[in-house]
Amino acid sequence: MTGIVSQDGEKRLVLVSGRAHPELAAAVAKSLDIDLLPTTAYDFANGEIYVRFAESVRGADVFVLQSHAAPINQWLMEQFLMVDALKRASAKTITVIAPFYGYARQDKKHRGREPISARLMADLFKTAGADRLMSVDLHAAQIQGFFDGPVDHLWAMPILTEYVRTRVDVQNVTVVSPDAGRIRVAELWAQKLGGGPLAFVHKSRDIRQPNKTVANRVVGDVEGRTCVLVDDLIDTAGTIAGAVRVLHEAGAKDVIVAATHGVLSDPAIDRLQQSGAREVIITDTLPIPEERRFEGLTVLSIAPLIARAIREVFDDGSVTSLFDGQS
């Protein structure tokens, strides 16, 4: 029987994965020292998706991993179907793991007659049968409240800061938020990197067009300093490339970019390569195929963190303990 059975034989942990990011699923399974539950998934000619699990999941605590990579709607749908199949197969608990939570940026109405898409995703997971949600660096922490059940909100910051510390002189670092909305996160970063100054970029956005932002100017002490520019995600890299530009114009010595989710939609790779950033650091919450990697891009593994969180949930332990009690 695939999975881990608890010492008293009462519980069974099962990990299943959709097709969006098999490398991450394999790495999480390896960290847990288990095999993924054998699963069949394929598309019909008209695009409908079929899924089936090859073994019983009756009474099991099942963790369903799917990263919401492109084509995002297909992979979301596949995860809904997997959750539905698990519910109908009498899994005891179903935890949705969405390392990158799709539609998270649409977490409020900017204008009338818009959806709140991030809420709808949470409702769809609940309707499908999810008991619990696990995700990494939600675009806005309050999305936790959209799901009616426990949400484990994991932070990539310890993994990213541990690496960044090896790449900078912490005495000369300014942590920079690429917009006013992420200053709180930048503050936590600054604490982790030795308590240096903070800065932020004044960014304006055209809400009528997707991915259209303008970096206006930087507020804070960056002249002659190594700037660590932190964001939750890089999509087309317009935000990050604009921020790197204004930081250089303001006299920054050099710029390191750190973000959790590498969405990297076109033309992100060109923009990042041409941005002048010394290094771009992301995690593998989303697949980063070889042809999209470039010199100066570092991809850190998120699998050990997800595996530890799964283990804490299964053992009725504490996910917060993974973040020094802060999450």
Instruction: Tell the residue number behind the tokens 């409020």, with chain if given.
Output: 108
What is the spatial distance between Cα 206 and Cα 194, in angstroms, rounded to a whole number?
36
Please say which residue, 105 or 292, places its beta carbon nearer to ligand R5P: 105
The alpha carbon of residue 279 and the mean position of all alpha carbons in its chain are separated, in whole angstroms, by 19
Phi/psi at 97 (nearest 5 deg)?
A: -110, 115
Q: Are 245 and 273 in contact (CB under 8 A)?
A: no
Instruction: Report CA torsion sign: 212, 216, 218, 219.
Output: negative
Residue 211 or residue 326: which is nearer to ligand R5P going by CB?
211
Q: Which of residues 262-281 bind ligand R5P (CB under 6 A)?
A: none
Query: Which residue reads 């695939």 in tokens?
Result: 2
Residue the block writes with tokens 């005891």: 92
CB of 179 to ligand R5P, least distance (A): 6
Residue 106 vs 172, nearer CB to ligand R5P: 106
- Footprint of ligand R5P on 31-60 (CB under 6 A): none
Q: Considering the complex, what minimum distance in angstroms separates the CB of residue 82 from ligand R5P? A: 27
Q: Is 213 in the site for ligand R5P (CB under 6 A)?
A: yes
In angstroms, what is the minimal distance from the CB of 234 to ligand R5P?
Answer: 5
* Neighbouring residues of 124: CB distance < 8 A, sequence distance ≥ 6: 76, 80
Residue 203 falls in the annotated catalytic set: yes
Distance CA 177, CA 4 (A): 41
- If binding means CB under 6 A, how many residues of this protein chain bind ligand R5P? 15
Task: Kindly tell me which residue out of 6, 90, 191, 211 binds ligand R5P, with binding defined by CB under 6 A.
Answer: 211
The residue (of 61 and 231) whose beta carbon lies closer to ligand R5P is 231
- Considering only residues 170 through 209, tell me which ones interact with ligand R5P, judged by CB under 6 A: 178-179
Residue 95 tokens, joined: 């935890």
Active-site residue identified among 11, 108, 192, 203: 203
DSSP for residue 36? P
Q: From CA 84, how far away is CA 167, in angstroms rounded?
A: 45
Work out how close the CB of 246 gets to ligand R5P at its nearest, in angstroms, rounded to a whole number.
14
Please say which residue, 28 or 229, places its beta carbon nearer to ligand R5P. 229
| Comparison of 76 and 185: residue with beta carbon closer to ligand R5P | 185
What minimum distance in Å lies between the beta carbon of 271 and ligand R5P?
Answer: 8
DSSP 253-310: SEEEEEEEEE---TTHHHHHHHS--SEEEEEBSS---GGG--TTEEEE--HHHHHHHH
Identify residues 222-261 at the interface with ligand R5P (CB under 6 A). Answer: 231-240
Chain positions contacting ligand R5P, by CB under 6 A: 105, 178-179, 211, 213, 231-240
Catalytic residues: 203
